Amino acid sequence: MSSEKEVKIYFVRHGETQYNTEKRIQGFCDSPLTDRGISQARSVGKGLEDIEFTAVYTSESQRVIDTANFAVGHRNLPTKTDPRLKEMNFGALESLLASEISERYGDVLERLFALNDMNLAPPEGESYTQLYTRTTSMIKEIIETHKNEGGNILVFSHGVTIGIYLMQLAQMSRFPHHDNCGVSVVRYTHNQFEVETIASTDFRDHSQ
């Protein structure tokens, strides 16, 4: 009999950023949270306050670290940052508007977001396959760390990173869009993963 206990991972996308409002491609590049983004982070933290968490993991990007800090608040939880939780590296497309990308690189965005080829990568960037590989390596490490004690884990990351992981895990044909501070829940038990919640804004919008 396995002594492993159930682990639930709560994935939270970061709050709204300046580049989000300007509709710029934002992967490895960064921009600060807006006032609305800070409010979203605080609100999702309040929506999750009745759940007992044992640890927090975040991307190395400052927008995600800030989101986690606002959401976690005064909870005394062990927190670890890891580069494998970062957003997809969009390479030469970083910080550009869609119109600028179209002028310089043609229909690369349309081909990327069609999701017909998981090995397709933006110029100087990484592919969905590479993104999924690094994300899963981190999730496996989290499970290995916590499966003996079990419990709920908070993971703060990015829209495409979380979306591609869930898409592959649940074998979905479409990419699940995560609104800022949307929450997805994955349950690990008996050596199996189950997607329980996808991109819910209920935790963030609990008071509305």
Determine contact, residues 7/140, Cβ cutoff 8 Å: no
Q: Please tell me whether 40 is known to bind a ligand.
A: no
Q: Please tell me whether 17 is known to bind a ligand.
A: yes
Q: Please tell me whether 34 is known to bind a ligand.
A: no
User: Which residue among 87, 146, 158, 178 is the active-site one?
Assistant: 87
**Collapsing DSSP states into helix, strand and coil, what is residue 131?**
helix
Known active-site residue 14? yes
The answer for residues whose C-beta is within 8 angstroms of residue 164's C-beta and 6 or more apart is 88, 128, 131, 132, 135, 175
User: Which residue among 14, 146, 158, 178 is the active-site one?
Assistant: 14
Determine contact, residues 53/151, Cβ cutoff 8 Å: yes
> Hey, what are 162's tokens?
């979380």
Q: Please tell me whether 15 is known to bind a ligand.
A: yes
Q: Please tell me whether 19 is known to bind a ligand.
A: yes
Determine contact, residues 169/194, Cβ cutoff 8 Å: no
The answer for residues whose C-beta is within 8 angstroms of residue 1's C-beta and 6 or more apart is none
Q: Which residue has the tokens 């895990």?
A: 169
Q: Please tell me whether 196 is known to bind a ligand.
A: no
Q: Please tell me whether 134 is known to bind a ligand.
A: no
Pairing verdict, β 192-200 and 183-189:
antiparallel
> Distance (Å, rounded) from C-alpha 33 to C-alpha 41?
9
Annotated active-site positions, please? 14, 87
| Residue ranges at the known binding site for substrate | 13-20, 63
| Residue ranges at the known binding site | 13-20, 63
